[in-house]
C-alpha cells in the first residue's frame, strides 16, 4: 500500500485547529464558546473555499475545466457548529451588559451583593420578580393571622414582633433595617434554624419599608438554580449572625446605635452606596463593566483562566463537583422540610 503525505491544509484550517485546541486551555465558559465559534467560522471558510493546501487561502481552479467540489455535509456541520456555539456566545455577552435598576432596587441589590455576592443580572432576573416592595404605616400588621406567609426584608424603619415559642411562652423581637423574618420558612434552602416552629405576629413600630417574597416563590427558588439557593443561604446566615449578636446585648444596647428620631430614616450599612473598591473588577463575570473595555477585559480574563493540561500543570480538584446538589426538586424540598421539623421536635424531647 502506497502512503502519500499530502501538503498541510490551508491557513483557515490551521487557524480553526488552533481555536479548537485553545477551547481546552481556558476555564471560563465565555472564552471556550468564543474559541469554538471562531473555530467553526474558519472551518466553514476553509470548506467553502475548496479545502486549499498550505499556504493558500483559496483553491486554484484547474485550467482544464476541473469542477469545483463543495462538500455539502462539511458545510452543514460547520454552519450548525457556528449556530450552536455562536448563539451561546451571544447570550453570554448579553449577560455582561450593564443592568439598569431603580434607586430602591439598587439599594436592595447592594444588600444582597454584600451578603451573598450576587450579580445585578441574577438579582434582577430572579429576586426582583419574586417579591414586591411595600410600605407599612406605624401600627400596621405585617405578619399574623389571616396574612399570607411571606419572608420580609426590612429596608427601612422599625418593626416589633411577638414570637410564640414551643413551650407556650412569647418573646418580643425588635427588627430594624437589614433584618429578615420569618425564620421558620427558611429551611427551604437547607439551613436548619433551631427556632423553626416559632411564628411571629409583627407590627410596624414606625413607617416600615420592606421587600417581601411569598413562600411559593421561595420554594420555586429553592428548587431552581444552585446560584440562587447559595445566595439565599448566604443571606440567611448573615441574618442569623445578626440574631446571634443580639443574644449578647439588650434591646436598649441594640437600639442605641440610632435615636428614636432617626429610626424612620436609618438604613443598615449594607444598603449604603458601594465604594469603588467593593465593586467587582471588569473581567469578573457579572461585573456589568466587561464590555466597557472588551479587549483589555477579555485578555485579562484569558490570563486568569488559562490552564495547561496535565501533566504540564496540576488539575482542578473537583472541577465538576460544583454541580453536586445543583438541582433540588420539589420532593427534595419536602424531604428537607420533614427532616428539619422532626429534628426540631426531637430537640425538645
145 within some domain: yes
298 within some domain: no
Which residues touch 144 (CB under 8 Å, ≥6 apart)? Answer: 201, 202, 203
- My answer on whether 233 and 109 are in the same domain is yes
Higher-confidence residue of 1 and 152: namely 152
Which pLDDT does position 345 carry in this prediction?
40
Per-residue pLDDT for 210 more than 90? yes
333 within some domain: no
322 within some domain: no
Which pLDDT does position 61 carry in this prediction?
54
311 within some domain: no
Which pLDDT does position 258 carry in this prediction?
59
- My answer on whether 191 and 113 are in the same domain is yes
Distance CA(118)–CA(211), nearest Å, equals 17
Query: Nearest to residue 218, comparing CAs of 124, 150, 272, 136?
Result: 150
CA dihedral (229, 183, 128, 148) in degrees, to 10, reads 130
Q: At what angle do helices 11-22 and 29-48 cross, to 10 degrees?
A: 160
- My answer on whether 185 and 240 are in the same domain is yes
- My answer on whether 89 and 209 are in the same domain is no
Q: Are strands 159-164 and 170-175 parallel, antiparallel or unpaired?
A: antiparallel
> How many domains, in total, are found in the chain?
2
For residue 278, is the peptide bond before it cis, meaning its omega torsion is within 30 degrees of 0?
no
- My answer on whether 49 and 135 are in the same domain is no
- My answer on whether 110 and 239 are in the same domain is yes
- Final residue in a domain of this structure, among 95, 118, 152: 95
Higher-confidence residue of 243 and 35: namely 35
- My answer on whether 73 and 122 are in the same domain is no
Per-residue pLDDT for 296 more than 70? yes
Per-residue pLDDT for 97 more than 70? yes
The pLDDT tens digits of the residues spanning 239-254 come to: 888 877 766 655 444 4
- My answer on whether 145 and 197 are in the same domain is yes
DSSP for 99-130, please give it.
Answer: ----HHHHHHHHHHHHHH---HHHIIIIIGGG
Which CATH number covers residue 204?
2.60.120.10
- Final residue in a domain of this structure, among 255, 278, 301: 278
227 within some domain: yes
Q: Which pTM does this prediction carry? A: 0.79
345 within some domain: no
Distance CA(228)–CA(127), nearest Å, equals 9
- My answer on whether 88 and 111 are in the same domain is no
- My answer on whether 36 and 163 are in the same domain is no
Which residues touch 218 (CB under 8 Å, ≥6 apart)? Answer: 130, 151, 185, 188, 189, 232
Find the domain containing 76 and state its range.
11-95
- My answer on whether 184 and 241 are in the same domain is yes
295 within some domain: no
- Final residue in a domain of this structure, among 46, 64, 95: 95
pLDDT, averaged across the chain: 81
- My answer on whether 54 and 160 are in the same domain is no
The pLDDT tens digits of the residues spanning 324-335 come to: 554 444 454 444
The pLDDT tens digits of the residues spanning 103-146 come to: 999 999 999 999 999 999 999 999 999 999 999 999 999 988 88
What is the mean predicted confidence (pLDDT) over 47-53?
Answer: 85
Amino acid at each position: 500500500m502506497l502512503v502519500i503525505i499530502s501538503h498541510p491544509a490551508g491557513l483557515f484550517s490551521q487557524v480553526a485547529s488552533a481555536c479548537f485546541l485553545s477551547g481546552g486551555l481556558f476555564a471560563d465558559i465565555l472564552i471556550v464558546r468564543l474559541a469554538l465559534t471562531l473555530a467553526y467560522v474558519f472551518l466553514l471558510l476553509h470548506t467553502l473555499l475548496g479545502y486549499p493546501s498550505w499556504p493558500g487561502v483559496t483553491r486554484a481552479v484547474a485550467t482544464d475545466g476541473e469542477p469545483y467540489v463543495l462538500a455539502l455535509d462539511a458545510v452543514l456541520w460547520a454552519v450548525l457548529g457556528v449556530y450552536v456555539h455562536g448563539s451561546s456566545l451571544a447570550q453570554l455577552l448579553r449577560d455582561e451588559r450593564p443592568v439598569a435598576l431603580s434607586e430602591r432596587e439598587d439599594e436592595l441589590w447592594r444588600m444582597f451583593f454584600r451578603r451573598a455576592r450576587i450579580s445585578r443580572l441574577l438579582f434582577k432576573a430572579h429576586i426582583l420578580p419574586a417579591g414586591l416592595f411595600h410600605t407599612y404605616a406605624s401600627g400596621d400588621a405585617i405578619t399574623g393571622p389571616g396574612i399570607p406567609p411571606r419572608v420580609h426584608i426590612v429596608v427601612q424603619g422599625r418593626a416589633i414582633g411577638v414570637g410564640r415559642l414551643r413551650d407556650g411562652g412569647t418573646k418580643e423581637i425588635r427588627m430594624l433595617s437589614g433584618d429578615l423574618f420569618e425564620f421558620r420558612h427558611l429551611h427551604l434552602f437547607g439551613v436548619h434554624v433551631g427556632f423553626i416552629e416559632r411564628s411571629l405576629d409583627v407590627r410596624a413600630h414606625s413607617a416600615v419599608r420592606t421587600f417581601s417574597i411569598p413562600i411559593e416563590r421561595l420554594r420555586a427558588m429553592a428548587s431552581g438554580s444552585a446560584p440562587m439557593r447559595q445566595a439565599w443561604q448566604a443571606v440567611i446566615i448573615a441574618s442569623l449572625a445578626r440574631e446571634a449578636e443580639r443574644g449578647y446585648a439588650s434591646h436598649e444596647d441594640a437600639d442605641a446605635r440610632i435615636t428614636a428620631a432617626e429610626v424612620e430614616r436609618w438604613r443598615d450599612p449594607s444598603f449604603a452606596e458601594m465604594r469603588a473598591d467593593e465593586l467587582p473588577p471588569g473581567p469578573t463575570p457579572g461585573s456589568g463593566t466587561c464590555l466597557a473595555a472588551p479587549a483589555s477585559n477579555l485578555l485579562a480574563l484569558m490570563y486568569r483562566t488559562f490552564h495547561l493540561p496535565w501533566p504540564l500543570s496540576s488539575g482542578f480538584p473537583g472541577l465538576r463537583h460544583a454541580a453536586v446538589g445543583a438541582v433540588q426538586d420539589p420532593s427534595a424540598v419536602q424531604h428537607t422540610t420533614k427532616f428539619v421539623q422532626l429534628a426540631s421536635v426531637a430537640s425538645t424531647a
